[in-house]
Amino acid sequence: MRKKGSILLIAGLTAGTLLAGCGSDGAEENTGAQTEESTLNESSGDNSMSDNTSGDNSASDGAEGSDSSEVNLDVGIDTVLTDLDSMNSALENSSEDSSKINELGTQLQSHWDLFDQKLKEEYPEDYSAINEEITPLIEESTKDEVDIEKTKTLLDEAVETVTKFKDEVPVQ
């Protein structure tokens, strides 16, 4: 009886291990876009923006307008400031590495696209000022041949404008 119990226990553990291994392929995989979007969603638990994982970051779609109300502006601004800080560090540490700057520019664009419509709706003047700084920075930082000095200048202007908005405007 004891031998039977040991064999059943071993068989059960082996089967459980195999089944757990089979089911984990891709199950824990989470795309960067899903992670970014869920980070920017309010803590209400509504993940309606996470359904768009096609890689299309266009915030001008009609459907995106309704989802933008679920985005937390304070978290979005903090995320953009973190992206700007990361880009600043990359420019200081490895200014000749265009691929890292490109990657950070793409990341900045995806984070900006997640909440810019809500910012535009709630703070149109501030949105215009920030967008005038962010857009040229994104365009320059995602070029094949990044002009490092121009990117540094654009980055400094963007940091100043976004920080000013964060300090002066009491967002949610």
Domain extents in the chain: 72-172
What pLDDT does residue 20 have? 53
Average the pLDDT over 69-94 and give the result: 88
pTM: 0.61
C-alpha to C-alpha distance for 146 and 117, rounded to whole angstroms: 28
What pLDDT does residue 152 have? 94
Record the tokens describing residue 118, joined without a space.
């809500």
Local structure of residue 41 (DSSP, 8 states): B
What pLDDT does residue 157 have? 97
- pLDDT, one tens digit per residue, over 16-41 is 555 555 544 444 444 444 444 555 55
Query: What is the chain's alpha carbon radius of gyration, rounded to the nearest angstrom?
Result: 22
Distances (CA, A) of 6 to 3, 13, 16, 19, 48: 5, 11, 15, 20, 48
C-alpha to C-alpha distance for 31 and 60, rounded to whole angstroms: 22
Please give the residue that has the higher pLDDT: either 47 or 121.
121
Of the pLDDT bands very low, low, confident and very high (cuts 50, 70, 90), residue 110 is very high
